Amino acid sequence: MNPLSELPICQKLDIKYPIFGFSHSVEVTAAICKAGGVGIYGATRDMPERIVSQLAKIRELVGDRPFGVDLLLPKGMQEDADFAAVEAMLPQEQKDFVAYLADKYKVPPATEDNFFSSQIRTNALFDGQIDAVMESSVDLFATGIGGRKDAVERAKKLGKMTVALVGAPKHVLAAKDWGIDLIVAQGHEAGGHTGKITTLALVPQVVDIAGDIPVLAAGGIGDGRQVAASLALGAQGAWLGTLWLAAREHKTGAVLMKQILEAGSADTVVSRAHSGKPARLIKSTWTEEWASPEAPEPLPMPLHQVVTGPLLAAVEEHQVEALIYGGAGQSVAWCQEETTVDAIMQRLITETGAVLTALPR
């Protein structure tokens, strides 16, 4: 048996491998489960009704295998807000810069809204998203950029395993207070929103504070040597987000796929140009424009996505190549060709098994 399969987390969840995969795609989430890991569907960009239907689709695809859902629950958002009213009150400097970008890159207006051109992150939205998760049969409920004790308690009462992504040792104390079941220590190398501490420094600190709560390592993991290293750091498995972007099941658009396949670790950058909070993205015209001396500071979350939402909806609709961008971790170096979820999983498992077997005992 692969030594990975003997870890307690595998027994607890009845899974073959302690490889957890975050994705915004239903197909990728399901494929990760079918390949023996745990797929986690990223639902932060979905309205509650869509969360219900997406999770139902995944359940249909995975049968009784466990899968998860992830929400972002940042603190300090307004209770409720109207997009048009907030948009009208945004600072002129940022509005002018977005108009300048639209003009410079000849972006025609969008003819339809998407999530970010019509929604604002508010507590009312989060309440609806949490209700949708609770209604579903999803097995794991994960949250990033914060979390909520009431939501953790509800999920646990429904028999769901609760998961918190943390980027600093101090975040573990809050997660313990919520009664969390599983902690993901996500280091600076990770794609998407990220903190300042690297995975190698973060994971053992989180493991020490977490005590009996199992920990997964995340951030920069691209091959089996790093999965094996995660175990050496005290984690029971790995949580990956970037590698799946190169899987066919993800249906990554051609422009972004090219950026992903061509990028090395040094081609990613932590930027506030996506959401207003630091997030690791592939360096692109979008990140460079916002980093230029003429650019204003991105607005804080959630306002940056209000000011940029309509432009980015148009960029997506009209596939304006110059401004297409995406999040990815330093692990993007291992995205070298278009592949499949199953091939990624098999590679990770084989490589990890080989390293663990070769280690001196």
Write out the residues near ligand FMN by the rule CB under 6 A.
Answer: 22, 42, 44, 70, 72, 144, 165, 186, 189-192, 218-221, 239-242, 326-329, 331
**Is the CB of residue 57 less than 8 Å from the CB of residue 69?**
no
Question: Shortest Cβ distance from residue 76 to ligand FMN (Å)?
Answer: 17
In the 8-state DSSP scheme, what is residue 105? Answer: T
Reading the block at residue 266, the tokens are: 């040094």
Question: Shortest Cβ distance from residue 280 to ligand FMN (Å)?
Answer: 7
- Please say which residue, 102 or 279, places its beta carbon nearer to ligand FMN: 279
- Please say which residue, 73 or 299, places its beta carbon nearer to ligand FMN: 73
- Please say which residue, 102 or 309, places its beta carbon nearer to ligand FMN: 309
Alpha helices (H) along 211-295 = 224-232, 254-262, 285-291
- Please say which residue, 72 or 81, places its beta carbon nearer to ligand FMN: 72
Question: Shortest Cβ distance from residue 287 to ligand FMN (Å)?
Answer: 14
Question: Shortest Cβ distance from residue 210 to ligand FMN (Å)?
Answer: 16
- Please say which residue, 218 or 227, places its beta carbon nearer to ligand FMN: 218
Question: Shortest Cβ distance from residue 232 to ligand FMN (Å)?
Answer: 18
Q: Which of 55, 33, 31 is nearest to 43 (CA)?
A: 55
Helix 199-210 with 169-178: angle, nearest 10 deg: 40
Question: Shortest Cβ distance from residue 345 to ligand FMN (Å)?
Answer: 14
- Please say which residue, 290 or 325, places its beta carbon nearer to ligand FMN: 325
- Please say which residue, 97 or 244, places its beta carbon nearer to ligand FMN: 244
Angle at 181 between CA 125 and CA 162, to 5 degrees: 25
Name the pairing type of β-strands 279-282 and 192-193: antiparallel
Point out the residue whose Cβ comes nearest to ligand FMN.
Answer: 241
Question: Shortest Cβ distance from residue 191 to ligand FMN (Å)?
Answer: 3
Q: Which of 150, 178, 155, 156 is nearest to 165 (CA)?
A: 178
Question: Shortest Cβ distance from residue 189 to ligand FMN (Å)?
Answer: 6
- Please say which residue, 42 or 66, places its beta carbon nearer to ligand FMN: 42
Long-range contacts of 76-84 (CB under 8 A, 24+ apart): 77/121, 77/122, 77/123, 77/126, 77/301, 77/302, 78/120, 78/122, 78/123, 79/122, 79/123, 79/124, 80/122, 80/123, 80/124, 81/120, 81/122, 83/117, 83/118, 83/119, 83/120, 83/306
Q: Which of 148, 121, 157 is nearest to 43 (CA)?
A: 121
**Is the CB of residue 35 less than 8 Å from the CB of residue 342?**
yes
